[in-house]
Homo-oligomer: A and B are copies of this chain.
């Protein structure tokens, strides 16, 4: 999906919402778990149907599917096929390896799986990132500053030049690809940092996890992060997927998605 198409979706829906499909068999309503042949895909499909009006993007977290073995990969592929080009599909896979291996991962996610974007860890440097950049209409989303406690261990270390590691990562990675093919993950629990990151990458889209169950501040994120193109994809996973554990989970998911979209809308355009 090219940048114009993504921006058109954002304008049409007046939303930056990305729904994280961290689908956990144990949290799926019992009725689906017991009576469907492929409960994970069935649940995803119902969540997508309920939220597509408010969401511009879906982000299946590959770990949740890999944990179910072959069957999980099948559910993941069916989910991605079901979304198609109706929304921007991010395979949240956090891959990254030496050049000839990253090339294989790019093939896996872009050619085989047909996701629009894949998340990549930066530790191995340039040749681990650039093999993902050669595909038209495909995106690489590199970890900048993550939303977990462990982000303090390395990302927040201060370098000899007084930069934090994560700002050095964002600055250097941004020199490898432009804003039509490269985004950054920036955790929303660190909303105060978004302003500073915008100075480094004024135009790149930022994928913001951690606004839902992890408790980031949606208003601050929008205030500092929104650009003329939208410029943000704001992810919520558990707070939407498991808004209700009962049979009304679709209505509850839609209501939570609408609540988030409404909070974003006023910052847009």
A residues whose Cβ falls under 8 Å from a Cβ of B: 22, 61, 63-64, 66-70, 73-74, 77, 92, 94-102, 104-105, 107-109, 111-113, 121-129, 143, 146-155, 157-160, 162, 165, 168-169, 172
Known: A94-B124, A125-B154, A126-B150. 18 other contacts (CB 8 A): A63-B102, A63-B104, A64-B101, A64-B104, A66-B105, A67-B105, A68-B112, A94-B95, A94-B121, A96-B121, A122-B154, A123-B155, A124-B143, A124-B146, A153-B172, A159-B160, A160-B160, A160-B162
Instruction: Name the distance in Å between A137's Cβ and chain B's nearest Cβ.
Output: 19
Question: Which residues on the B side are within 8 Å of A127 (C-beta)?
Answer: 148-150
Question: Which residues on the B side are within 8 Å of A152 (C-beta)?
Answer: 125
A22 and B143 alpha carbons, distance in the complex (Å): 26
Question: Which residues on the B side are within 8 Å of A94 (C-beta)?
Answer: 95-97, 121, 124
Question: Which residues on the B side are within 8 Å of A159 (C-beta)?
Answer: 157-160
- Pull 10 A–B residue pairs with CB atoms less than 8 Å apart, ordered by A: A61-B101, A69-B73, A69-B112, A94-B97, A122-B123, A124-B155, A126-B149, A126-B150, A159-B159, A160-B162
A102 and B73 alpha carbons, distance in the complex (Å): 17
- Which residue in chain B gives the minimum CB-CB distance to A24? B104
Is A148 in contact with B124, judged by CB distance below 8 angstroms? Answer: yes
Instruction: Name the distance in Å between A61's Cβ and chain B's nearest Cβ.
Output: 6
Instruction: Name the distance in Å between A6's Cβ and chain B's nearest Cβ.
Output: 24
Is A165 in contact with B154, judged by CB distance below 8 angstroms? Answer: yes
Question: Which residues on the B side are within 8 Å of A74 (C-beta)?
Answer: 70
